[in-house]
Amino acid sequence: MRDIEDDAMAEGAVEVHCPWCGEPHTLEPDGSGGASQEYVEDCPVCCNPWLVKVRFTTSGPADVTLERAQ
Ligand SMILES: [Zn+2]
C-alpha cells in the first residue's frame, strides 16, 4: 500500500449512477481516507444504500464503483 501525496491525488467530482434508481449523482472522493476505500452511503434520491468502492490511482481520476449494499 502506497501513500498518496496530495499533489498526486485525483481531485474533483466523479459522476456515478445509482444502482437502484439509475439517477446520476456526483461524488467527491476524499483521498485522506486511504488509497482504497469502501463505505456505505444512501442514495439521496431513492434512499437505498450504496456500497461505494473508491480506488485512488496516482494518475487520472479516482476509480469509483457503486454496488447495491445488502
Ligand atoms: Zn437511487
What is this structure's pTM? Answer: 0.77
68 Cα–ligand 1 center, Å: 10
The mean pLDDT values, 10 residues at a time, for the chain of 70 residues are 48 89 93 91 97 89 92
Q: Say how far apart CA 48 and CA 15 lie, in whole Å.
A: 18
Domain ranges of the chain: 6-68
What length does the chain have? 70
All three cell numbers of 36 = 482504497
CA of 19 to the centre of ligand 1 (A): 7
